Structure 1
């Protein structure tokens, strides 16, 4: 449509020039053939320009498409790498969580064992600490082993196992010579010797007991038992002196009343 208009305009311009110039000028004008060639030439140049422009546009479109494709590929690779990294981080995080949970369990178990160990240690320390006991009306401090061995030995005396009792009480004296149980141990040891008919040793132990603890609540009993041992040894004279000592030293005791009866029987 543009080329047709241009051709018409060229033809119109050529006619006007021919009329104005007259016959002389008319001879110099382009004829129709030349005008047609000019138009074709112009059309060709325009077509060439359009083709070049279209080619350039196609090239630019191709380059843009290639660039977009390259960028898209780069973006896809980046996204893939990022996704792979994310998966790796998730796996590492899950592993760390698992380790953290295991560590928490280990810590809890360690704390439980430490608590048990501490409680066990406290219990053992309590067993090793001196204990308060009431002995013959007095409160004293004794070692746990000391208390246990003493009670076991006295239990042997009361059960009638005098041989075992004598051995245990003698061993106790050697192990705990300054024990708060020392006076009571002498009294029960004298009874153990008396029970197994070892009267001579019984007299010796009872005498040591009375001399060491004359204010002891069992001192009157010890003198009465000592007199009985002396009678068993056929030493009535010494037995009477022991009974006299009992009556004079502890007149209000039950042992003194029994001693009076025994002394009367000897006369």
Structure 2
């Protein structure tokens, strides 16, 4: 009985060792499996981290390249801005110079135009009103005529010379009739009555329609009366009344005829 128990106990011990070994083996296998799983996960994690690190490195490299390219663009823009600023300054200076040149050109053109206008005024015919009619004369004619008229107010002899000089210088002038009339008055003023009569007669014969012709005949009759040639004065007054019956000078002539009448 004791031996049977011992045998049983021995067998039980053997079984316990086998189970322990099996348990240990199972634990080893499970541990290895766990280690393998952990290793696999670790390797996966390392691989993932490596991949992420690689991607990050590439991204950093790309970012550096982008930053470098952006910096290059900024530098290029700065260079372009500096160039444009320089061009703008040059353009501004050029424009300012152009404006100055244009202003100077305009000033010169204005001066030239003013000078040209002044010269044209010296030679360009001008319209002048004389005795209710318009005539066209050159500036130099007008000046010569006005100078003679100014002299006539103070010096008959000098005025007569100026008027005769005018006739020689401007023989076809529109002032011709007026110059002839005032020449007669200048001669009358210097008491050259015979020459005054001739001057008045020239006006009537060469320009019978001139507004001063009736006055010229009246003045001629005055000169004849002062020369004591009453007959000639009467003839001249009759001629005045006949040629210009509606003129004021004709009315004056009628009044003078009464004073010139002589018996027979």
1:79 paired residue number:
none
1:141 paired residue number:
136
1:213 aligns with 2:233: no
Find the aligned partners of 1:102 and 1:249 in 2 and give their Cα distance.
75
1:177 paired residue number:
171
Find the aligned partners of 1:114 and 1:217 in 2 and give their Cα distance.
45
1:242 aligns with 2:236: yes
Question: How far apart are 1:94 and its partner, in Å?
Answer: 8.2
Find the aligned partners of 1:233 and 1:121 in 2 and give their Cα distance.
54
Among residues 176, 187, 197, which one is paired with 1:193 in the alignment?
187
Per the normalisation by structure 2, the TM-score is 0.59
Aligned residues between the structures: 183
Question: How far apart are 1:103 and its partner, in Å?
Answer: 6.7
SS in 2 for 1:133: strand
Question: How far apart are 1:262 and its partner, in Å?
Answer: 2.0
Among residues 98, 113, 119, which one is paired with 2:114 in the alignment?
119
Find the aligned partners of 2:258 and 2:164 in 1 and give their Cα distance.
35
2:249 paired residue number:
255
Decide which moves more: 176-185 or 247-256: 247-256
Relative to 1, partners in 2 of residues 1:105 and 1:211: Cα closer, same or farther, differing over 3 Å?
Answer: same
Question: How far apart are 1:118 and its partner, in Å?
Answer: 2.0
Find the aligned partners of 1:212 and 1:120 in 2 and give their Cα distance.
40
**Moved beyond 6 Å, runs of 4+:** 93-100
Question: How far apart are 1:102 and its partner, in Å?
Answer: 5.5
Among residues 116, 123, 142, which one is paired with 1:128 in the alignment?
123
Per the normalisation by structure 1, the TM-score is 0.59
**1:25-40 equivalent positions in 2, closer than 5 A:** none
